[in-house]
Structure 1
């Protein structure tokens, strides 16, 4: 997911290089780092919560970039059609959604009946 995301981000407009692109890239790296943290912690309720929240932030940033039309760009210029932009957005969204499903399954598998009350 991160590899494909970086390819897409490299084509976004130049004026977003240090704005939205950097935020999306950092969110993806944070999700990656939190995955490793969750795997290594014995008590990982807090880490899984952080992972879930950061994943949702990543999803929202990717959706925002699509709504702003940044998937229409190729080599920092708007020259892709709507169909190509939709295909690129759908490809990354499917991966982000799969990751979210995995995170949700992980949380449900470790969640005791009273975890929400704690």
Structure 2
């Protein structure tokens, strides 16, 4: 799998995750839609922005680290929404599967960036 194909897949998974997240956020109680719900929306959009930024930058190391951090934050926010019973377990598992897959893809991308280059003799 080439780097470009992998990142396009990451972009696609991010779009799917955001679409699923917006549907799940509709279940939030009215008093939380503008607090935790808004924070989750902002985090999802920041993840999308970081993916695009990483695609455009030549030096991706810090951007990918920021992306990994935001994915971890989103995972904790979604877990909190389940713990507070704003979403049910089924929606939680589906949403988390998107997030975990994006985390794995980001980790693979980071490993590829950090891998030492072979020296040709």
Backbone CA RMSD of aligned residues: 0.9
Number of the residue aligned with 1:35: 51
Number of the residue aligned with 1:104: 107
What TM-score comes out, normalization by structure 1 length? 0.82
> Where in structure 2 are the equivalents of 1:2-17 lying within 5 Å?
2-17=18-33
What TM-score comes out, normalization by structure 2 length? 0.80
What stretches of structure 1 of length at least 5 have no aligned partner? 72-84, 114-118
Question: Which whole-Å deviations, capped at 9, do the CAs of 1:8-65 have from their partners, x for residues lacking one?
Answer: 1011000011110000010000001100000110011111111111111111100110
Aligned length: 100
Number of the residue aligned with 1:89: 92
Q: Is 2:65 the partner of 1:49?
A: yes
Number of the residue aligned with 2:78: 62
**Structure 1 residue runs of 4+, over 4 Å off?**
none
Number of the residue aligned with 2:38: 22
What's the offset of the Cα at 1:112?
A: 3.8
Task: State the SS of the aligned residue for 1:70.
Answer: coil
